[in-house]
């Protein structure tokens, strides 16, 4: 059994077969298809939060962690895969990098263009999925390939594809454990449902496969928890989403009991603590 830990195919197959990866959770939530209304709602919220003061501080922390290893971003060529509305593309450009952003969603690509103009920077936007882009043998590599919480990084084959575009560095970030939701934990305890077991971690697969393939990399796992006030009705409207994120079957009985618990327990806004553990890796490709 122990020797399987050192077999690449075992880890690759396990990642492909895992029903609890971030991508499969997004599929269950209807957020994997950028043409759906559910995705459009998410995109607007994501853009708003990304360029809030808290969102900008988070982006800066990540760029600083990378910059401490790579040096200045001035004139560095950067490929941002799954760039969304520019949460990282724009600060990269502000620091002097030459940024190419891949973003398939028309809504997010338009937001990215608008955000770049608002911040007086230039970002080349390619409105395609990463899978749709064909790589020529003679194509110029990018100094840094960047993919933060990107759904396209769904398995080892896609990770290798991202690495093939990188000349010096490749940054990858993923969930490093299940999402945490204080209100859901409280609800489950009070309606008699068992607390869920620890789910799978995309980061565990990534780290093991990078190790088995002989890559050199820096890794950081950190826990991020934020508290926000939400109304009772908003919490109830989010119950189905939270049940899916927790891997709990959507039974009407449990949803109804959860709603009753919220209404009986909270009369005013709820201080909701949410977050989880996130992993970030910077692969060093130059000797």
CA atoms within 13 A on the CB side of 74: 2
Share of the chain above pLDDT 70, in %: 92
Residue 30 has pLDDT above 80, yes or no: no
Residue 80 has pLDDT above 50, yes or no: yes
pLDDT of residue 32: 57
Q: What are phi and psi of 149, to 5 degrees?
A: 50, 45
Phi-psi region of 142 (alpha: psi -120 to 50; beta: other; left: phi over 0): beta
pLDDT of residue 259: 95
Confidence of residue 49 (pLDDT cuts 50, 70, 90): confident
Strands 270-284 and 77-81: unpaired
Confidence of residue 1 (pLDDT cuts 50, 70, 90): very low
Q: Residue 11 and residue 154: Cα distance in Å, rounded?
A: 13
Taking only the tens place, the pLDDT of each residue in 57-69 is 989 999 999 999 9
Fold of 2-178+198-225+277-284: Rossmann fold (3.40.50)
- Mean pLDDT of the region 158-164: 95
Q: Residue 248 and residue 263: Cα distance in Å, rounded?
A: 21
Helix axis angle for 8-17 and 202-212, nearest 10°, is 160
Taking only the tens place, the pLDDT of each residue in 106-130 is 999 999 999 999 999 999 999 999 9
Q: Poorest-confidence range of 151-155, 163-167, 211-215? A: 151-155
Taking only the tens place, the pLDDT of each residue in 166-207 is 999 999 999 888 888 999 999 999 998 876 655 668 999 999
Q: Residue 181 and residue 174: Cα distance in Å, rounded?
A: 18
Q: Residue 34 and residue 38: Cα distance in Å, rounded?
A: 8
Q: Residue 214 and residue 283: Cα distance in Å, rounded?
A: 11
Ranges of each domain in the chain:
2-178+198-225+277-284
236: which 2 tokens?
A: 């109830």
90: which 2 tokens?
A: 């724009």
pTM value is 0.86
């Amino acid at each position: 059994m122990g020797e399987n830990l050192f077999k690449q195919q075992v880890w690759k197959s396990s990642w492909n077969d895992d029903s609890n990866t971030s991508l499969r959770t997004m599929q269950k939530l209807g957020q994997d298809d950028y043409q759906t209304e559910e995705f459009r709602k998410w995109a607007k919220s994501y853009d708003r939060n990304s360029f809030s003061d808290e969102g900008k501080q988070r982006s800066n922390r990540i760029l600083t962690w990378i910059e401490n290893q790579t040096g200045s971003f001035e004139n560095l060529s950067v490929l941002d895969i799954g760039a969304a509305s520019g949460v990282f593309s724009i600060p990269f450009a502000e620091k002097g990098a030459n940024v190419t952003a891949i973003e398939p969603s028309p809504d997010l690509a338009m937001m990215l263009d608008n955000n770049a103009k608002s911040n007086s920077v230039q970002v080349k936007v390619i409105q395609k999925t990463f899978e749709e882009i064909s790589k020529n043998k003679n194509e110029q590599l990018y100094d840094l390939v960047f993919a933060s919480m990107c759904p396209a990084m769904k398995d080892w084959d896609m990770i290798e594809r991202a690495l093939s575009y990188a000349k010096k560095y490749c940054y990858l970030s993923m969930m490093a454990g299940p999402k945490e939701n204080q209100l859901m934990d409280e609800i489950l305890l009070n309606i008699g449902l068992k607390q869920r077991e620890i789910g799978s971690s995309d980061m565990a697969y990534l780290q093991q496969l990078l190790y088995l393939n002989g890559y050199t990399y820096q890794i950081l796992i950190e826990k991020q928890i934020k508290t926000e006030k939400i109304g009772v009705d908003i919490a109830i409207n989010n119950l189905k989403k939270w049940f899916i994120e927790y891997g709990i079957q959507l039974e009407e009985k449990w949803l109804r009991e959860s709603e009753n618990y919220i209404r009986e327990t909270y009369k005013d806004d709820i201080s909701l603590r949410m977050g989880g553990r996130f992993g970030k890796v910077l692969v060093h490709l130059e000797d």
